[in-house]
Amino acid sequence: MRFFNFHLMPYPSLPEDYDGPAWVTCPNELFDPEVGQKVYNRYLDELVYSDELGFDGVCVNEHHQNAYGLMPSPNLMAAILARQTKNVKIAVIGNALPLYNPPTRVAEEFAMIDNISGGRLIAGFVVGGGPEYYSFSINPAFAREKFAEAHDIIIKAWTEPGPQEYIGKHYKLRFLNTWPRPVQKPHPEVWIPGAGSIETMEFVAKHHYGYMGIPYFHMDVFERTFGMFRDACEREGYEYDPIQAGWLTPIYVAETDAEAREQYEKHFWYFVRRLLPGINVSPPGYTSLRSIQGILKGIGTFAINLKTWDEVMEGHYVAIGSPSTVLEMLEADLERLGTGNLLGLFQLGTLPHDLTMRSLSLFAKEVMPKLRERFPDGKRMLRASGGVA
């Protein structure tokens, strides 16, 4: 099992009287640079701290024109982390490939981060969230085609000697010859996040990459999603390796269960009620009909619909409580899902710095070692049947 601290870098100060979406049309006048300069540095400290605590990696991601996550350029964050951390993998999950033109830029910047960090980059490629297609006016109907071409360009740039030519439908590059080249050979580990779209899973399975399940759904939906991913690997003719799958979930650890809820709940609701609205727009042509049909089955469990704390706990939307409670929850969930990477969102919504740091520390000292023991590297985690109930 590998453990990652995933940061969204949310904007924590949306005014009380604003009840609109946090995405696309959320007025940028609401962004206060006084808040911004504090939280960027504070959030980076929280990621650097997880390096000191012995996490395997840190994760940053890309979103545009929103209050949910303040990282239009995750590569800037990764570059800072490459210098400020020593051991952790730096997972950028990911760069929204269709938003880069030409996508050569991603090959270059990722290679820079891999060089500066001494080969610690995990390269994430994403299609980009639905809102991004509105925010950047990029045609969603060509999202998958562009993603596939951009991916091919990057891998070609990293693995084949240049200069070479790439002539695709969307990108025509007469001289593909990126400097620098990445440190890791043949190229950095590739992760691709997905929200349950079959096309994404098939793509990941085909290339033997890592599939990261996007959070904020009921545990039953994750179980179905990772089951579908395992099936996709089987259809490619191989048995899925747990290291290929990552589960992303909010985690909060305090001294006792009661204290944990008391300290955490309001910050969680800020996230759900203030930062999620608007994330779930699906631009036309962005997802295939067969994927939409599948995704609709679980859509009712998307966290935005949560009303009560009981629902939160019942669906395991957050692993929360004393160290022993969190351990128990995560053991059960990881066994159920069979993923070899645990991506924890330790800071969420308005959760303040001191509570985030203490939760990270409690997790690293009292939960992580026991989970490492329970799920050692390389050991298959699924029950003997190879499937889940």
Partner 1 sequence: MADITLDLFETEVGKVQLRRGGSGDPLVYLHSAAGEGEGLTFLNELAEHYSVYAPIFPGFNESEGIEQIDDMEDVVFYLLDLLDRLALDAPNVVGLSLGGWMAAELATRYPDRLSSLVLINPAGLYIEGEPIKDIFGRSPAEMAKDLFVDQAHPVAQMMNQMDRAMSDAGSLKDIPFELIAPQLKSMAAAARIGWNPYLHNPKLRRRLQRIKVPTLIVRAESDTLIPAAHTRAYADEIPGAELVEVANAAHMVVMEHPAELAAIIQKFVTTPSASRTSG
Give the interface with partner 1 as residue ranges (CB under 8 A). Answer: 24, 134, 137-142, 280-281, 283-285, 289, 292-293, 296-297, 299-300, 302, 304-305
Least distance (Å) between residue 199 CB and partner 1: 14
Q: What is the dihedral of CA 369, 370, 374, 375, to 10 degrees?
A: -30
91/83 Cα distance (integer angstroms): 14
* Residue 215 and residue 345 in contact, taking contact as beta carbons nearer than 8 Å: yes
Least distance (Å) between residue 314 CB and partner 1: 15
212/347 Cα distance (integer angstroms): 19
* Residue 63 and residue 129 in contact, taking contact as beta carbons nearer than 8 Å: yes
Least distance (Å) between residue 109 CB and partner 1: 25
Selection from 197, 28, 176 nearest residue 126 by Cα: 197
Closer residue to partner 1 in complex, CB, 258/296: 296
Closer residue to partner 1 in complex, CB, 226/302: 302
Closer residue to partner 1 in complex, CB, 287/341: 287
Closer residue to partner 1 in complex, CB, 99/329: 99
Note every long-range contact of 313-319, with CB atoms under 8 Å and residues 24 or more positions apart, other chains counting.
315/217, 315/218, 315/219, 315/220, 316/218, 316/219, 316/249, 317/216, 317/218, 317/249, 317/250, 318/249, 318/250, 318/251, 318/252, 318/264, 318/268, 318/348, 319/249, 319/250, 319/251, 319/252, 319/344
Closer residue to partner 1 in complex, CB, 167/384: 167
Closer residue to partner 1 in complex, CB, 141/258: 141
Least distance (Å) between residue 165 CB and partner 1: 22
Query: Residue 224 class from Cβ within 10 Å (0-12 exposed, 13-18 middle, 19+ buried)?
Result: middle
Least distance (Å) between residue 325 CB and partner 1: 29
Least distance (Å) between residue 132 CB and partner 1: 13
Closer residue to partner 1 in complex, CB, 21/74: 21
Max Cα–Cα distance, the chain, nearest Å: 62
Amino acid at 324: S
Least distance (Å) between residue 305 CB and partner 1: 5
Least distance (Å) between residue 273 CB and partner 1: 14
149/165 Cα distance (integer angstroms): 13
Helix (H, G, I), strand (E, B), or coil: what is residue 85?
A: coil
Closer residue to partner 1 in complex, CB, 281/381: 281
24/383 Cα distance (integer angstroms): 43
Amino acid at 118: G
